[in-house]
Structures are given as C-alpha cells and as structure tokens.
Amino acid sequence: ETGVTQTPRHLVMGMTNKKSLKCEQHLGHNAMYWYKQSAKKPLELMFVYNFKEQTENNSVPSRFSPECPNSSHLFLHLHTLQPEDSALYLCASSQKTGSGNQPQHFGDGTRLSIL
Amino acid sequence: LAKTTQPISMDSYEGQEVNITCSHNNIATNDYITWYQQFPSQGPRFIIQGYKTKVTNEVASLFIPADRKSSTLSLPRVSLSDTAVYYCLVGDMGSSASKIIFGSGTRLSIRP
C-alpha cells in the first residue's frame, strides 16, 4: 500500500472512445503528477499539479486532458487515442513542489491498451 | 540537467551484497541523489535519498563520495524479491519536476 490508488488497473479502449483514469492519494500531499511508461522505456513526465494548479505540461498532445479538482484527486481524460499511446500510466504525489528534496510516491498504474 | 549513467543490468545471488553505482558528473550544488525500485507492472518505490557522505535505512545504504560525482546504492544480503529495476535520480526536488529524469535504470536479477 503506497497511499496512492489508481483506477482502473487495466483499460482496453478503441481509438474513438472516451475514458478517464483516476488517481487518489491519502498522504496529505499537495503535488500530483502523471507519468507515461511505454514498454522498455524510461518514465516520461506528462503533467504536474501543485496545490490544484497545473504547473507543468511536458508537451503532451491535447488528446490527454488532466483535471485536478483538489489536492487528493487527479484525473486523466482520454479521447481519440492512438495505438502508440498504449502504455502504463503512473500517478505520483509529493509533499509539494518547490521545497527541496521531496521524494515522489507512486501508484501502481493503469495499463492502457488502445485497439 | 544532471544526467545519470548506470549499468543496464546486473546479476547476483541470494545472500550476496549488491552495489549499484551511478555516475552524475554534472551534479549541481542543490541536487539530491534519490534511488527508486520498480517491480513489473508497479510504480517505482522510493528507497533512499542522500546529499553527501553515507545514508542508511532499513533496506539500503547510499554512499556518496566527497566530489558527489557518483553514488553507490548498497543492498545487503539480497533475496529473490530484490529482483527489480533500480533508478538513480539526481536533482533538486524543489525545482521543476521536469528536471528530475528517470533514466533506463539498472535491471537487477537475483538468482537462487
């Protein structure tokens, strides 16, 4: 139990579908992150939220749309995805950004497959 | 950006001590060194973090020489369950998250 819960754990969707990934953290953290991990590739940072405000967008295509309604919840809305978007999507949280050495706590990810 | 270099893979046996070294020649003054462990189909797990000298916790030790251009993660008496990918990260966690880069990591395989 890492304190960061992601749902669903697995998702299969067609390219025209719309779905959402959910992340919830129970650690009292104020920063949340989305990462993409493709097969045998390093983690790629996608988005960063600090106190509910998006502070970083790492040139992510608009077919990925994040939402952070509060410091405990983070969503990733998906629409019109491509086969190359199939990957493990990881959510992480940390105390906050901009304050020294803050290790990130990760969920176990959503395994996304695009048909 | 402080880039890190680690061996792609390592093999060892149960009960042995395993040392994984990470090179970070352009580490900045404010940068910390952080190690994560990742099992298949799981998110990375924080193992240990240090700034200089030696840090020890219940699972590992981290050795950092005076020039801080490298660091060594030491896992005492490994078991089969230590088979995983280990990532070395260098950066100021208080700055932009995009400056904290997960590289390819070191794939550690432990044999009986």
Tell me the pLDDT tens digit for each residue of B49-74. Answer: 999 989 999 999 999 999 999 999 99
Q: Does residue B14 lie within any of the structural domains?
A: yes
Q: Does residue B2 lie within any of the structural domains?
A: no
Task: Name the nearest CA neighbour of A33 among A85, A109, A99, A86.
Answer: A109
- The pLDDT of B18-23, averaged and rounded, is 96
Mutate to test the interface with B, among A46, A104, A105, A111 (most CBs of B within 10 A): A104
pLDDT (tens digit per residue) in B86-108? 999 888 755 666 667 788 899 99
CB pair distance less than 8 Å for A100 and B51: no
What's the CATH code of the domain at B14? 2.60.40.10
- Percent of chain A exceeding pLDDT 70 equals 97
Q: How many domains does chain B have?
A: 1
Does the pLDDT of residue A100 top 50, yes or no? no
pLDDT given at position A96: 72
8-state DSSP, A83: G
Q: Does residue B98 lie within any of the structural domains?
A: yes
The span from the CA of A46 to the CA of A21, in Å, is: 14
Given a contact cutoff of 8 angstroms between Cβ atoms, the answer to whether B99 and B17 are in contact is no
Q: Does residue B4 lie within any of the structural domains?
A: no
Cis peptide upstream of residue A8 (ω within 30 degrees of 0): yes
To the nearest whole Å, the CA of B22 is away from the closest chain A CA by 16
The overall average pLDDT reported for chain A is: 91
The span from the CA of A32 to the CA of A50, in Å, is: 7
Q: Does residue B1 lie within any of the structural domains?
A: no
> Using a CB-CB distance cutoff of 8 angstroms, which residues of chain B are in contact with residue A102?
93-94
> Using a CB-CB distance cutoff of 8 angstroms, which residues of chain A are in contact with residue B96?
56, 97
Residues 76-115 of A with CB under 8 A from B: 88, 90-92, 94, 97-109, 111
Given a contact cutoff of 8 angstroms between Cβ atoms, the answer to whether B100 and B89 are in contact is yes
CB pair distance less than 8 Å for A101 and B49: yes
Q: Which amino acid is at B62?
A: L
In 3-state terms, what secondary structure has residue B93?
A: coil
* φ, ψ at A75 (rounded to 5°): -120, 155
Question: Domain containing B104: what range?
Answer: 9-111
Q: Does residue B101 lie within any of the structural domains?
A: yes
To the nearest whole Å, the CA of A13 is away from the closest chain B CA by 19
The overall average pLDDT reported for chain B is: 91
Mutate to test the interface with B, among A43, A49, A51, A57 (most CBs of B within 10 A): A43
Name the residue of chain A whose CA is nearest to B8's CA: A40
Look-up of token digits 């432990």? B110
pLDDT given at position A102: 79
pLDDT given at position B44: 94
Show the tokens assigned to A113. Answer: 């497959």
pLDDT (tens digit per residue) in A31-41? 999 999 998 78
Q: Which amino acid is at B47?
A: I
The span from the CA of A17 to the CA of A28, in Å, is: 33
In 3-state terms, what secondary structure has residue A84?
A: helix
Q: Does residue B100 lie within any of the structural domains?
A: yes
> Using a CB-CB distance cutoff of 8 angstroms, which residues of chain B are in contact with residue A54?
none
Given a contact cutoff of 8 angstroms between Cβ atoms, the answer to whether A57 and A47 are in contact is yes
CB pair distance less than 8 Å for A2 and B93: no
CA quadruple A28, A34, A39, A41: dihedral sign: negative
The answer to whether residue A70 neighbours chain B at the CB level (below 8 Å) is no
pLDDT (tens digit per residue) in A42-84? 889 999 998 899 988 888 999 999 999 999 999 999 999 999 9
Q: Which among A55, A99, A107 is the nearest to B43, CB-wise?
A: A107
CB pair distance less than 8 Å for B43 and A97: no
Q: Does residue B3 lie within any of the structural domains?
A: no
Neighbours of A65 (CB within 10 A): 15
The span from the CA of B98 to the CA of A104, in Å, is: 13
How are beta strands B106-111 and B9-13 bridged, if at all? Answer: parallel
The span from the CA of A50 to the CA of A68, in Å, is: 9
